[in-house]
Structure 1
Amino acid sequence: MKLLRVGPPGAEHPAVLGPDGAAYDLSGHTPEIDGRFLAGLDDAGRAALAAALAAGALPRLDLAGQRIGAPVARPGKVVGIGLNYRDHAAEAGMPAPSEPVVFLKPSNTVVGPDDEVLVPRGGEKTDYEVELAVVIGRTARYLESHREALDVIAGYAAVNDVTERAFQLERGGQWDKGKSAETFTPLGPWLVTADEVGDPQRLGLRLWVNGELRQDGNTSEMIFPVAELVRYVSRFMVLEPGDVIITGTPAGVTTGRPGTPFLKPSDVVEVEVDGLGRQRQVLGKA
């Protein structure tokens, strides 16, 4: 099942894509696709939505000219994972970590998949990172097993973990500063439920800048797989429905391509993850 939110910023309404590829309004079932809704999206909840679709009980939406928002409203937190692909760690000149590298991004960095991304004031080295995002559907604390971890996942989405490298690496070595500028987490276009995605360790990820393919990887190349990331993070913080974990990026970021210019206003970044849709952002300036 593919869930999405449609409309202008702050006034999005929930929708679902039907088997015919058309969008259908969920406003009669839920005011938002948020933590509360996701917590109830178990097998029975998905079956009820599927039945409503099959019965023609959901109004059809015309998406022509409509903005697509982030598929999750107001995530409680965005948990980032760094250096989770061996080729990316190598291009960064860093050893593969023995434990996941964890950082936090403010939830107000989350924007729609095609919204403008702003180079921050003082930014000199704005970079891109195509990643798989994991959306939590059940409260999780101190998980013991990978099976438990997979059971708390509501679904997955594509994400661009935009990063200002000068802030991240040259301003005291604090990653959060390089990850936290407004618009730095384009998410979507859809939240695809975990049952439809199946194995999250078999998804291709690609990113283009101005039509040039820069990143081309696969989640099978993760150092720490999705289940381990969710289990591990739950040992340090409580994960709640609607929280998002972004799981690291493969090689090909600008810092790993000597002589490649960093992002600048008017550049176009396109992001794609198998089965999770495609994004397109035009860079602007804060």
Structure 2
Amino acid sequence: MKLVTFSNGQAPRFGAVVGKFVVDLAALSKGDLPSRIEDFFEDVEGFEPTLKAVVSAFEASPALGEGVASLDQVKLLPPITRPPKIICVARNYAAHAAEAGLPISPIPILFARFANALVADGDPVLVPAVSKDLDWEGELAVIIGKSTKGRRITKAEAMEYVFGYSIFNDVTVRDYQFRVTQYTAGKNFRATGPFGPYVVTADEIADPHKLDVTTTLNGKVEQHANTDTMIYDIPTILENIAEFIDLEPGDVIPTGTPAGVGFKRSPPLFLKDGDTISVEVTGLGVLTNPVRNEEAV
């Protein structure tokens, strides 16, 4: 299933994309499913059977009607607009660490992003007024579906906590990132967190460690790698995070970017007004955003 948050000019709604249609899940379930995806993640196990039944029934007989719209007539928002946490992984591809001139860590390097920096598919990424060093980082994102409930987990059981996957573009203001040893400022500028367009449920992805990640800038491929070259696989990442904080349903875990970012090129290549940046991950769709100057919006 491809799950989304969408708007048809009114309040955001929890939906599923089926072919060329978007299904309003609360409407088609007659209120048995919530109208917001955040409420769905409050009780994934309880809601999931109804979710599957509603989507299966529509797949069997798709048609426009009450609670159904054409995909091109709605606005997709970040699929989870207010995740409980966004915990990113740094330097998870050896070639990226090498191009950055930075060592490979013996454990995952983690940093936090904030929900108010998220950007929907199709909405602009902003070049900030205080810096022009805006760089891309296309990534596979893991979506958590079950709480660790105050316990640590092992790598052997970690995948039980994965609900699905999405695409994340960890757009970074490089000079702010490296002004100090903490990444927080450079990773949380306004409108620098493209996320989406969907959450694809885990049953749709046979092996998340065998997916191509491709980033294009104005149609030219700038990054291309397979997730089988990640240094830390998903179980290792989740085990490390759960050592110190609870994983919660709806958490978003971007898993790191491959080689091909712009800041170490000669000369450096940064995003600028008028650019279009896209990230594609096998089976998860394409996340595309225009680039605009902050002063112009």
Provide TM-score, normalisation by structure 2: 0.89
Q: Which one of the candidate residues 150, 157, 170 is aligned to 1:148?
A: 157
- One-letter amino acid of the structure 2 residue matched with residue 30 of structure 1: P
Does structure 2 conserve the Cα–Cα contact (< 8 Å) formed by 1:84 and 1:247? Answer: yes
For 1:47, the equivalent position in structure 2 comes to 52
- Mapped partners of 1:201, 1:128: distance in 2: 21
Q: Does 1:13 align with 2:22?
A: no
Does structure 2 conserve the Cα–Cα contact (< 8 Å) formed by 1:39 and 1:138? Answer: no
Shift in Å, 1:147? 3.5
- One-letter amino acid of the structure 2 residue matched with residue 4 of structure 1: V
Q: Does 1:104 align with 2:104?
A: no
Q: Which one of the candidate residues 251, 256, 264 is aligned to 2:259?
A: 251
Shift in Å, 1:257? 2.3
Shift in Å, 1:114? 1.6
- Mapped partners of 1:207, 1:17: distance in 2: 23
Shift in Å, 1:56? 4.9
For 2:170, the equivalent position in structure 1 comes to 161
In structure 1, the residue corresponding to 2:129 is in which secondary structure? coil
- One-letter amino acid of the structure 1 residue matched with residue 88 of structure 2: G
Where structure 2 has 5 or more consecutive residues not aligned to the other structure, the ranges are 28-32
Q: Deviations over 1:247-278 (max 9, x none)?
A: 10000000232224211111111111111111
- Mapped partners of 1:279, 1:77: distance in 2: 21
Shift in Å, 1:92? 0.6
Give aligned-pair identity as a percent: 35
Provide TM-score, normalisation by structure 1: 0.92
Q: Deviations over 1:163-187 (max 9, x none)?
A: 0000001x22220110011111111
- Mapped partners of 2:198, 2:227: distance in 1: 18
- Mapped partners of 1:159, 1:120: distance in 2: 19
For 2:30, the equivalent position in structure 1 comes to none
- Mapped partners of 1:10, 1:107: distance in 2: 21
Where structure 1 has 5 or more consecutive residues not aligned to the other structure, the ranges are none
* RMSD of aligned Cα (Å): 2.0
Q: Does 1:84 align with 2:84?
A: no
Shift in Å, 1:93? 0.6
- Mapped partners of 1:45, 1:146: distance in 2: 30
